[in-house]
Structure 1
């Protein structure tokens, strides 16, 4: 759940799960932060062997301080891609495309294509848990940023040369971030190790020839 100005709502715990972090990327250079909708923060893969469950999370447009009626970032012109390589050849065996759009009433929705174990295309409202098939869930919306990092300790360590981290101090605590969360059966992806990476691309209007 996203953080609100008055309270923090905790997420449900994950039992027997392994969380794999693939590079935090908060507070980027100006070129990236100028386009928050296309600026990836983190990519997570959480798997539960016993439950045959894989959860993929892509976060972006982060560091939002809580505000009443705050919404996630849903840019129609940005394509989000999650790539999965199951045989270590550095080529994606599964390519999951995620896009946002609006209906005639102006309500935002999400479209997911290529999620293993799911229908070819899943379409539904944002801020809603979609369940298009057994063992498959899709969500896109605002959430409390799950990334934990002691930025003050990091800066102090750099300045002094002495480790100054405090594992109870989280710079990102209480901030919100937009998230794409995809859940499917682990067996639909791989029975062994796999690689995961994500990209974004922004559509640009064609330029006229002079």
Structure 2
């Protein structure tokens, strides 16, 4: 595989804190990439079943119609999905895990130090490589290799949102406080799918998580926050 220069298309940002579940959602509302194969829907980061591991999940191309599996919605071989990890607290990626499709498989590289930071990246083919066959709705493939556990394929969209009610609120057809309580709300995404990429990695491969200081010290005194990696996901498209 050749090293390829690529440029960022979209990024979702968040902080992963030990024992805390992180979700960042952004469905089809980024003008430059909405409806494309580089459009990020969700980003998750959380502690694994093994508390010494961290799980990263990115979903793209959502929402897809129920039953629309990889036959009609496929990962793009010109788009790399990149999990970025800052372990020094300066909000610049120190390590990246890169995932890119080749044939019927998703290849993962890293975690490793990036060749460059920011909008441009180079696929780090010199880093440890792990691959998994892309799953379909009927066949689920998970690979454990090089201390990583990885998956790529369609999954039910995990986002919960009463989108129809939201449209009524923003259009002024109901009052701003007119959202329904959970027992009455309708989950627009219940039967919709996304394409997902998941990787579980030992924290020992991510370095030491930086210390975070609470903004409101009177509410969270010094030392009350656990060390945490700053993490975000981006998609980047090949330009040459």
TM over 0.5: yes
> Structure 1 length as normaliser, TM-score?
0.75
> Structure 2 length as normaliser, TM-score?
0.67
Aligned-pair CA distance for 1:70: 4.8
**Aligned pairs, number:** 180
- Aligned twin of 1:129: 142
> For residues 163 and 188 of structure 1, do their structure 2 counterparts lie closer, same or farther at Cα, with a shift above 3 Å needed?
farther
Mark the runs of 5 or more structure 1 residues left unpaired by the alignment: 1-15, 103-107, 206-210
- Aligned twin of 1:5: none
Aligned-pair CA distance for 1:52: 1.6
The 2-side partners of 1:26 and 1:178 are apart by: 13
Greater RCO, CA 8 A, separation 6+: 2
- Aligned twin of 1:33: 34
Aligned-pair CA distance for 1:126: 1.2
Q: Is the 8 A contact 2:128 2:146 kept in 1?
A: no
Aligned-pair CA distance for 1:140: 0.5
Matched, 1:179 2:196: yes
For 1:161-197, what per-residue CA distance to the aligned partner results, in whole angstroms no more than 9, with x for missing partners?
2141332432111101000000122343245211111
- Aligned twin of 1:85: 86
Aligned-pair CA distance for 1:32: 1.5
The 2-side partners of 1:183 and 1:31 are apart by: 30
- Aligned twin of 1:9: none
- Aligned twin of 2:44: 44
Q: Is the 8 A contact 1:85 1:195 kept in 2?
A: yes
CA RMSD of aligned residues (A): 2.5
For 1:59-104, what per-residue CA distance to the aligned partner results, in whole angstroms no more than 9, with x for missing partners?
00111112376545221111111101122101111111111011xx
- Aligned twin of 1:58: 58
Aligned-pair CA distance for 1:130: 0.6
The 2-side partners of 1:170 and 1:55 are apart by: 25
Matched, 1:161 2:176: yes
